[in-house]
């Protein structure tokens, strides 16, 4: 399934658009002036659900050299590691400093429709795969000290905006949860997420027809 993409990608061209990116702060909404009256007490009331009940468990990723070496040392990122190799991005993620990669787990990739995942790894869809992967990449050391309390857009290497939301728990990027934070590789941070991020201007092809399916 995983085919080598012959198109070389220049590290400089991938990173120049996103160098020096910062999160644009969005002011918080003012607090309401009055609170609603309390609901009547009920002896049979069920306990409130945990806000993190649906968040996937951390894969326990451990820093092991550069970003690529760290991903390949774990059994939870085999699809991402193969995709980076196929898209000729591994060399960039080994040598370029001050990066942050929002890293989907294998489970996140497998949540895509099977036909879409197969099509992404097809050599004829090289440009789509490159755009999706570089949309997960930021040319900035973006650790949780910069994410917590912040809310707003940050430039991705792909050129699109990622929406960072550090106002609650878990921390989020777009509609993905950060399920493990601040894995500090030698050249930047890996922030593990539970969903594959698709740029707004990208449609994912299907394996059956070669056509495009709506982006998730």
The whole-number pLDDT of residue 212 equals 43
Distance CA 191, CA 178 (A): 6
pLDDT at 189 over 80: yes
pLDDT at 193 over 90: yes
pLDDT at 58 over 80: yes
The whole-number pLDDT of residue 137 equals 98
User: pTM for the full model?
Assistant: 0.77
Distance CA 96, CA 39 (A): 55
Distance CA 23, CA 142 (A): 9
Average pLDDT of span 112-116: 93
Average pLDDT of span 104-113: 97
**Model confidence over 153-163: pLDDT tens digits?**
999 999 999 99
The whole-number pLDDT of residue 37 equals 54
Residue 101 CA from chain centroid, whole number? 7
Q: How confident is the model at residue 3 (pLDDT cuts 50, 70, 90)?
A: very low
- Whether a cis peptide bond, with omega within 30° of 0, leads into 199 is no
Q: How confident is the model at residue 47 (pLDDT cuts 50, 70, 90)?
A: very low
**In degrees rounded to 5, what are phi and psi of residue 18?**
-110, 0
**Token pair 């009940």 in the structure block, residue:** 53
Average pLDDT of span 15-37: 53
Asked if residue 160 lies in contact with residue 71, where contact means CB atoms within 8 angstroms, the answer is no
Average pLDDT of span 73-77: 97
The whole-number pLDDT of residue 214 equals 39
The whole-number pLDDT of residue 21 equals 55
Average pLDDT in the chain: 82
Pairwise pLDDT comparison (44 vs 69), residue with the higher score: 69
């Amino acid at each position: 399934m995983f085919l080598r993409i012959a198109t070389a990608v220049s590290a400089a061209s991938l990173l120049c658009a996103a160098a020096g990116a910062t999160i644009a702060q969005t002011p918080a909404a003012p607090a309401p002036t009055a609170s609603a009256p309390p609901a009547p007490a009920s002896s049979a009331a069920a306990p409130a659900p945990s806000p993190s009940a649906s968040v996937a468990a951390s894969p326990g990723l451990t820093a092991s050299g550069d970003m690529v070496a760290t991903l390949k040392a774990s059994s939870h990122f085999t699809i991402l590691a193969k995709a980076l190799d196929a898209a000729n991005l591994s060399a960039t993620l080994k040598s370029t400093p001050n990066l942050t990669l929002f890293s989907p787990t294998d489970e996140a990739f497998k949540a895509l429709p099977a036909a879409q995942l197969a099509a992404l790894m097809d050599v004829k869809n090289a440009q789509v795969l490159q755009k999706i992967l570089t949309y997960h990449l930021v040319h900035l050391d973006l650790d949780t000290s910069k994410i917590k309390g912040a809310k707003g857009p940050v430039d991705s290497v792909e050129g699109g905006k990622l929406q960072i939301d550090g106002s609650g728990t878990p921390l989020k990027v777009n509609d993905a949860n950060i399920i493990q934070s601040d894995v500090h590789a030698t050249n930047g941070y890996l922030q593990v997420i539970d969903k594959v991020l698709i740029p707004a201007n990208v449609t994912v092809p299907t394996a059956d027809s070669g056509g495009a399916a709506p982006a998730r």
